[in-house]
Amino acid sequence: MVLKPLLESIKSLGEERFTVEFPETRESLDDRERYMLRLDMDTCISCSACERICPNKTITMVEVLTDRGPKVMPQIGIERCLFCGLCEEVCPPKCLTLTKGYDFEAYDKRNFIKRPEELQG
């Protein structure tokens, strides 16, 4: 009774692995789809318009050291983001944009808080 499954397990050790990554190809997205935010740190003017317009209050302004000294830029908690695009619409220099990237895997929810440096594209 126990011997047959044990023999099959030993026999399968020598066989080629057949686990397939799913999906094999990335899904193509429609042009209207919006996901991950991207920030152009060079053109950001620290106006905080994105923070004020965000309906979920997921954008907070944090201080970042740049080549020109300290500057206040948006930090985004993507775990609460609706990807509504209001922040992109209200941004005067258009430095905050929504892209088609949708890789949101993380083991720790603190990894969903993206600092301005991580939002650079």
The position carrying tokens 């692995």 is 17
Kindly state whether residue 21 falls inside one of the protein's structural domains: no
Cis peptide, bond prior to residue 55, ω within 30 of zero: no
Average pLDDT over residues 49-69: 93
Within-domain flag for 10:
no
Of 104, 85, 102, 81, which Cα lies nearest the Cα of 28? 102
- Whether 14 maps to a domain, the answer reads no
Strand order across the 69-77 sheet: 59-66, 69-77, 113-114
User: Is position 43 within any domain?
Assistant: yes
Q: Kindly report the pTM of this predicted structure.
A: 0.70
Q: Is residue 101 part of a domain?
A: yes
Decide if pLDDT at 30 tops 80: no
CA distances from 96 to 38, 54, 100, 118 (A): 6, 13, 14, 13
Q: Is residue 6 part of a domain?
A: no
- Read off the pLDDT of residues 62-117 as tens digits, 9 standing for 90 and up: 999 988 889 999 999 988 999 899 999 999 999 999 888 777 777 888 888 999 99
Our count of domains for the chain comes to 1
- 92: domain CATH number is 3.30.70.3270
**Position 1 in a domain:** no
CA torsion 108→52→72→40, rounded to 10°? Answer: 80
Identify whether 38 is part of a domain: yes
Q: Give me the domain span that covers residue 42.
A: 28-119
Q: What is the three-state SS of 14-52?
A: CCCCCCCCCCCCCCCCCCCCCCCEEECCCCCCCCCHHHH
- The confidence band for 35, taking pLDDT boundaries of 50, 70 and 90, is confident
